[in-house]
Structure 1
Amino acid sequence: MVMIFGGFAPENWAFGPKFYGDDSSFLFTLAPRMRMFPSSGYNQHFQYLNLHQHTMPNGLAIGGQHGYCGLWLDCEYGKGHTSESCTTYQDYQQMSHLKEFTYRHLEVWGLGSPPLTPEERGERVNNSSILDGNVEGKGFVENGRKDDA
C-alpha cells in the first residue's frame, strides 16, 4: 500500500540542537486518505535539523520530541519514523503503518524567496584583502615589508 505523508515548515531550515519554528507548521497525509494536523499550541517543537553531533540526534524532525517525533527523517537516507502520538499537532495520528519506516522517494519543495547569499549579508566570501581594491595602499604595505627584511 502506498503511503504519502509529509510536513510544512514555514521557516528556513537551519542546523542546530534545538526545535524552532512557529505554529503555522503542520503535518499531513495524502494517501491512503487526506488528513491535516495543525498546531495544538501545546509546545513549540515545530522544526529540528541537526547533523554531525555525537550528543544530539542527527536528522530532520517536525513536531514532538526526540524519539517521539511526528515525522523524523534520519541522517541516514531512507530511514525514518512517525510516532503513535505527537502533542505538537492537534488530533495527530501515526502517519505510517509502522512506527519505523523506510522510504525510496523524498520530495523537498522550497517556497518563497531564497536565503540571502554571503555577499548580500555583507560577509567576506574569499580570503582577499581590503587592500586589493587600493593599489597605492597595497604598494605601500609591500614596500614596508621589503624595508623590514
Structure 2
Amino acid sequence: MSKESEKQRWQRNFADLLQELRVAQTGVQILFAFLLTLPFSNGFTRTTEFQRDVYILALLTAAASAAMIISPVAFHRALFRQGRKPELVRFAHRMATGGLFFMLIAMVSSVLLVSDFVLDRPIAFLLSALTGVWFLLFWAVLPFSRRNWGDDDIDDDDDDPQMLTGD
C-alpha cells in the first residue's frame, strides 16, 4: 500500500470535511426553515415575551450556524485552483466548529421555546439543560475522550490536529 502525498492528504481531508458539513447543513437548514415558518402559525400569537425572546435567539443562532457551515463553499469558490487547499481545510474546520456551536444553541433554545409553550417553565428549563448536556456529550465529550484511544493501530492521519489547525 502506497503512502499518500501531502497534497492527496489535504484533498482527502477537504473531502471528509465537506461530507461532514453536508450532514450538519441539512439539520440546520431544516431547523431554520421550521423557525422561519413559526411566527405565521396560529398559536404563535399566544407566546409570552420570554418565548418570543427565546424564538429570536433560536432563529438568529440557526442563521449563524447555517452561514458558518455553508461558508466553506464560498471560500472554496474564491480560492478555486489557487493551490491553497491547506488554508481551505483549516478555514472549513474552524467554520464547522463554530457552526456546530451555534447549532447547539439553536437546538437547545428551540427545545426551550417549545417546552416552555406546552409545559411549566421550570420543567422547560430542565429539559433544555438536559438537551444541552446530551448534545455536548455526543458532540464534545465522547469525540474528544476517544482522541487517544487505539493510538497503536492508527495508520490514518486525517484527524491529525496539526493538519486541521496548522499548529
TM exceeding 0.5 = no
TM-score normalised per structure 1: 0.24
TM-score normalised per structure 2: 0.22
Structure (1 or 2) with the greater strand fraction: 1
> Which has the higher relative contact order, 1 or 2, with Cα contacts under 8 A spaced 6 or more apart?
2
Structure (1 or 2) with the greater helix fraction: 2
Greater Rg, structure 1 or structure 2? 1
